[in-house]
Amino acid sequence: MIADHRFHALETLRLSLNVLAQPLQEAASMPSQALARAADFFTTQSDLLRENRQLRAKLLEQSAAAQEARLLRAEQEHLLHMAPGRSRYADGGILAEVLYTARNPFTRKIVVDKGLSHGIKAGMPVIDGTGVVGQVTSVGTFTSEVTLVTEKGQSVPVMLVRNGLRAIAVGSGKDGTIDVPFIPASADVQQGDLFVTSGIDGTYPPGLTVAQVSSVEKNSAYMFARIVARPAAGVDSYRYVVLLPLAPTPPRPETLEEEARKPGKGAAKPRREGGSRATR
């Protein structure tokens, strides 16, 4: 011990014994290490399962919030498109929310949350951020019914942007399309052309986007071409619309007969036959 302490004489022997004892130490510690690892495995697995459940719950919550955020963002962009700074026709209009579609499944109508109490009148045009949606056809106290431009028989005077061709766009009442009838087969109408309101009816302001031509069929055997267009507005998708005020109706020109019937204007004086005979 003194020699090992003073001169480290047994250091080599001690290292050799350590090398020989290392496998025995590891073999002796293997059961405890195996038990500890098994305990850690089950504990870690339970923790992972619990964390996995928590993460799934958070994922579902965040997914719902993300979907709501996307909806709010889409509605915000839609409302911005209808703002006065973005649309010259939104100024003076009334913003309304679409409540539900009409009860009749064979008609294309929607019900909005504005009525007589909000100053709504029958005939007011309805638009969204992209174009014409339809026209108010029935007004209640707090709600109104809007007939979509795709409804059968609903007509809008339109004009082709590219060449100024005037026509009448009529709802087909099927698959959400718009027909443009009575266009000569020789007319210059192409696929992709845009129709806007002409404003000659006094209801829709001029320049509102109505539809885009989706197909043009011309047959020399027929006088008119078959033109089908898709509405530019989201008639079946958007949640908010704008109801535009009715344009003031210009006075109707009076005929000559109406002018003659007015008292004091152009009325012929009756002749007095008796007085003329007495003078003679």
Supply the mean pLDDT for the chain.
78
Q: Is pLDDT of 278 > 50? A: no
**Cα 63 to Cα 42: distance, rounded to the nearest angstrom:** 31
**Cα 168 to Cα 200: distance, rounded to the nearest angstrom:** 11
**Beta carbons of 165 and 184 less than 8 angstroms apart:** no
**Cα 117 to Cα 96: distance, rounded to the nearest angstrom:** 13
- The amino acid occupying position 264 is G
Whole-structure pTM value: 0.60
**Beta carbons of 149 and 178 less than 8 angstroms apart:** yes
Q: Encode pLDDT of 60-77 as tens digits.
A: 777 666 666 666 777 667
**Cα 136 to Cα 92: distance, rounded to the nearest angstrom:** 16
Q: Encode pLDDT of 120-136 as tens digits.
A: 999 999 988 788 999 99
Q: How far is CA 43 from the centre of its chain?
A: 52
**Beta carbons of 137 and 112 less than 8 angstroms apart:** no
Q: Encode pLDDT of 26-68 as tens digits.
A: 777 777 777 777 766 666 777 788 888 888 777 777 766 666 6
Q: Is pLDDT of 80 > 70? A: no
What share of the chain has pLDDT > 90, as a percent? 29
In three-state secondary structure terms, 245 is coil
Confidence at residue 277, expressed as pLDDT on a 0 to 100 scale: 44
Cβ-based neighbours of 10, under 8 Å, separated by 6 or more = 3, 4
In three-state secondary structure terms, 194 is strand
Q: Encode pLDDT of 201-222 as tens digits.
A: 888 888 888 999 999 999 888 8
In three-state secondary structure terms, 73 is helix
